[in-house]
């Protein structure tokens, strides 16, 4: 599986090859600099302002580029690559509409702290500000949703800027960095000298925590009778899953993982309570509301987790560990703030942490709650239930797949019924909630993890937003397995309209959607349809056995809801439990 026949070389080999200063074009500098950063796949779509860059790719066998069918597909693929590998994702688009088509993907990565380097073309420097053909101020447009932006003015700045961009994107609180390259800069020649050093005044993220603050947390644990850990995406992004496991097993503190934190701590562990918040477990939400100590590790107290802020964790002393000081105290008042990289904080804490000895009764109570109130649904042999489908996917992949999702009911069912035991196995749009994200992000995850099974679980709404990327799966034999939970409706919107808007169903009917089997086959992708359990299992097993990409359309119950559910304006212990209760 590859986008082309590129044979990747090590950085040492490339430095040896390009070690001597050489006069080359800006486009050649750009490609060489990306390879020196260890980039093994770039996702993109050409256009007029980047033609010199694409011309430099011609015959450049070291460079691996995957041509998507839409710029949004390119940036979501780069995002999925980054989340699943821990590397920086890279995409390229042309000026004007090409660049603006990236905006949703940039915002998606920014909200979820995903490291991307986004390269856009621009009109020539002499035309900037003249409303030239396909000109857009993409630096200005994306300023609120990028970690940093560059507009290249001098061709010889390119190696330094690319090196800085990767450093900024993948350090501190990670995020997208934009590099805007005017067309004439990409054509100009200059002296290429690889950049190895970074010196940025004013950018020095705090990695190592204040020891006194860590000691305060340790003392609070020793005194607590009802402690709880809320682990977020920061655990995964910092590579701190082993340190978190040691911390939890050493202290014995029950733990809940946020939507983006899933996989940061094994779902099957006895101290894991599942996901908290709007569609979280009864145990996690009840535990938060009764805790006397809540340790937030790399989560940002998102409103989907906290519910009504005024009633969130009302009995708890709050410890908040985060690399971004702006997050601490932003939503929830913090008693013990700890600024630093999660991995470094936990390493320091593990050296001195002790078992929470006063919490034995609390741990016993939580085990009772877990047994009494697991996720439940009313199964059916007459209709295919989406929860059953997700559980079947988990069973047949043995829980070892990388799972990506779009946004909506299927996303929550995947989070609830596909337990994760490894980090970077779960790829989903959390903060922005971007429909269209699920399928192209799976392509990026598969490119970054060619030896693993990648499953993309989608709804029939979101699948249509980037379905054109089926073409590149077929052409490049990218073996993503796509599960479409087709309920012929915008499911989560329908659920809200049922429960909150008194069954006033407004503009949610997707029954005119295409025949997904025929659509996939039109792109050259193997496809199946299932409407009962026997068909579902058979179709899915055939899809998994197929060596290339495959799509399975599961025709599921239209009026199925995601439970538990906490409505907006409620505290997280005010849960609607659903029909199964």
Question: Could you list the active site residues?
Answer: 71, 133-134, 183, 492
Identify the residue whose tokens are 């590790």: 297
CB distance 54 to 100 below 8 Å = no
Q: How many CB atoms lie within 10 A of CB 556?
A: 27
Q: Which two tokens stand for residue 238?
A: 């910092």
Enumerate the H helices of 431-485 as residue ranges: 438-448, 470-476
CA-angle at 485, arms to 484 and 488, nearest 5°:
110
Q: Which residues in 152-290 belong to E strands, given as ranges?
A: 176-182, 189-192, 227-231, 255-257
CB distance 173 to 113 below 8 Å = yes
How close are the terminal C-alpha atoms of the chain, in Å? 47
CA distance 232 to 255: 11
CA distance 257 to 250: 18
CA distance 88 to 359: 41
Q: Which two tokens stand for residue 221?
A: 């644990």
Dihedral (CA of 335, 337, 343, 347) sign = negative
196: Cβ contacts below 8 Å, ≥ 6 apart: 163
In b/e form, how buried is each residue of 83-110, taking b as 16+ CB within 10 angstroms?
Answer: bbbbbbbbbbbbbbebbbbbbbbbbbbb
Enumerate the H helices of 170-210 as residue ranges: 183-187
Q: Which two tokens stand for residue 562?
A: 């995601």
* Distance (Å) of CA 19 to CA 47, 52, 59, 86: 31, 23, 21, 28
Q: Which two tokens stand for residue 157?
A: 């700045």
Q: Max alpha carbon distance in the chain (Å)?
A: 72
């Amino acid at each position: 599986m590859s986008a082309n026949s590129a044979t990747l070389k090590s950085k040492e080999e490339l430095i040896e090859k390009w070690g001597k200063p050489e006069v080359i074009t800006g486009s050649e500098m750009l490609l060489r600099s990306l390879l020196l950063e260890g980039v093994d796949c770039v996702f993109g779509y050409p256009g007029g302002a980047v033609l010199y860059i694409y011309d430099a790719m011609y015959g450049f066998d070291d460079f691996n580029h995957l041509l998507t069918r839409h710029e949004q597909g390119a940036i979501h693929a780069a995002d999925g690559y980054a989340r699943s590998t821990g590397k920086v994702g890279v995409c390229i688009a042309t000026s004007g509409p090409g660049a603006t088509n990236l905006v949703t993907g940039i915002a998606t990565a920014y909200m979820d702290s995903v490291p991307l380097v986004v390269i856009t073309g621009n009109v020539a420097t002499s035309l900037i500000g003249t409303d030239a053909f396909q000109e857009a101020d993409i630096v200005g447009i994306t300023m609120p949703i990028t970690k940093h932006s560059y507009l290249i003015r001098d061709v010889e700045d390119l190696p330094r800027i690319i090196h800085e961009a990767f450093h900024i994107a993948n350090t501190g609180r990670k995020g997208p960095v934009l590099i805007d390259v005017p067309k004439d800069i990409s054509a100009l020649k200059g002296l290429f000298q690889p950049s190895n050093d970074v010196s940025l005044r004013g950018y020095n993220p705090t990695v190592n925590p204040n020891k006194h603050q860590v000691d305060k947390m340790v003392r609070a644990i020793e005194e607590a009778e009802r402690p709880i850990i809320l682990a977020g995406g920061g655990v995964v992004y910092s590579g701190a899953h082993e340190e978190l496991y040691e911390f939890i097993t050493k202290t014995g503190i029950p733990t809940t993982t946020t939507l983006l934190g899933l996989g940061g701590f094994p779902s099957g562990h006895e101290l894991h309570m599942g996901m908290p918040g709007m569609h979280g477990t009864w145990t996690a939400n009840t535990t938060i509301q009764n805790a006397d100590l809540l340790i937030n590790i790399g989560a940002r107290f998102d409103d989907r987790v906290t519910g009504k802020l005024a009633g969130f964790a009302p009995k708890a002393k709050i410890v908040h560990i985060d690399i971004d000081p702006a997050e601490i105290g932003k939503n929830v008042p913090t008693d013990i703030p700890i600024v630093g990289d999660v991995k470094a904080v936990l390493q320091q804490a593990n050296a001195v942490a002790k078992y929470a000895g006063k919490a034995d009764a609390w741990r016993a109570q939580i085990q009772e709650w877990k047994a009494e109130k697991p996720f439940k649904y009313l199964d059916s042999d007459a209709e295919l239930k989406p929860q059953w489908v997700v559980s079947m996917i988990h069973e047949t992949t043995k829980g070892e797949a990388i799972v990506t999702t779009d946004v909506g009911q299927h996303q929550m069912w995947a989070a609830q019924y596909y337990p994760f035991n490894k980090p970077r196995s779960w790829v989903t749009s959390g903060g922005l909630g971007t429909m269209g994200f699920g399928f192209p992000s799976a392509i990026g995850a598969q490119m970054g993890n060619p030896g693993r099974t990648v499953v993309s679980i989608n709804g029939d709404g979101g699948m249509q937003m980037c379905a054109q990327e089926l073409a590149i799966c077929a052409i490049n034999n990218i073996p993503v397995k796509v599960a479409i939970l087709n309920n012929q409706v915008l499911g989560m919107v329908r659920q809200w309209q049922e429960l909150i808007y008194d069954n006033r169903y407004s503009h949610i009917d997707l029954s005119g959607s295409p025949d997904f089997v025929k659509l996939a086959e039109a792109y050259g992708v193997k496809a199946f349809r299932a409407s009962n359990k026997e068909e579902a299992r058979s179709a899915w097993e055939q899809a998994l056995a197929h060596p290339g990409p495959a799509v399975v359309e599961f025709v599921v119950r239209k009026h199925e809801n995601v439970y538990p559910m906490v409505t907006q304006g409620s505290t997280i212990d005010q849960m609607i439990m659903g029909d199964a209760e």
